[in-house]
Amino acid sequence: MQIDIITIFPAYFREAFDYGIIRRACAAGLVSIRAHDLRAWTTDKHHVVDDRPFGGGDGMVLKPEPIFAAVQSLVGASRRESMAAEKRVVLLSPQGKSFTQALAAEFANCEQLVFICGRYEGVDERVAEALVTDEISIGDYVLSGGEPAALVVVDSTVRLLPGALGSETSAANESFSDGSLDCPQYTRPPEFEGMRAPEVLLTGHHAEIARWRREAALEKTKRNRPDLLK
Ligand code: ADE
């Protein structure tokens, strides 16, 4: 898989993928991740990427030309309709549809993902209208730019690539894979400052442990994310 990130802060990503599962996936050749400076696709002397919004208002808006040029050079197309189904161009923005585990799984099947990190007050809407295949928000809060959101989406996608996790089964049993949260986990010591780990987990009784885990996961989902059970 090829991942390209278009940003005005490429240095933000310098070490971001050098840890843990993502580093291993890169080292194993499962994915190649590159961050590109949007300014490389400007044609003026001062490498201007933004301008004032039509109609007035605060802040600056990212101009369409460098973004369309960047996607044309990275994907070989600058209209959504002319892109191969295995290529996705993702705009990170608080106006996007919600990012989910299901979308991460869909992205993990792609051949190329291009992320456009929004900045300032926004991105010229013609980018969302004609260029991007997916406009995505990572949650109902506003970040100062799309960069942290791109990290989140890349991380959750790359760890789903076949071979990225230690064991092929570990992605199947985790939170959201079946619509609820993962069960609580404990490790040694069995008693810590008067708090005991659940006895059933120490018995080696596989059927009972599995039952306890199902119930504990359901309890935790009810408590922290009742919306998932509706
Ligand atoms: N840019 C600013 N806020 C964002 C959010 N919540 N998700 C994705 N990109 C963003």
Top mutation candidate among 138, 151, 154, 156 for ligand 1, by most atoms within 8 Å of CB: 138
Top mutation candidate among 97, 116, 137 for ligand 1, by most atoms within 8 Å of CB: 137
CA within 13 Å, CB half, 40? 13
- Cα gap 66→50, rounded to integer Å: 10
- Cα gap 86→90, rounded to integer Å: 13
- Cα gap 84→112, rounded to integer Å: 10
Q: What is the pTM of this model?
A: 0.96
Kindly tell me if the per-residue pLDDT of 26 is higher than 80. yes
- 126-178 tens-digit pLDDT: 999 999 999 999 999 999 999 999 999 999 999 999 999 986 557 877 888 78
pLDDT at residue 119 in the model: 84
Kindly state the average pLDDT of the residues 47-66. 97
DSSP-derived pairing of the beta strands 191-192 and 134-137: unpaired
CA of 80 relative to ligand 1 center, distance in Å: 21
Kindly tell me if the per-residue pLDDT of 202 is higher than 90. yes
Buried b (16+ CB within 10 A) or exposed e, 143-168: bebbbebbbbbbbbbbbbbeebbeee
pLDDT at residue 175 in the model: 86
Q: Which of 101, 76, 75 is nearest to 90 (CA)?
A: 75
CA of 129 relative to ligand 1 center, distance in Å: 18
Least confident span in 119-123, 129-133, 205-209? 119-123
Can you spell out the DSSP letters for 55-88? T--SS-EE-HHHHHHHHHHHHS-SSGGGS-TTEE
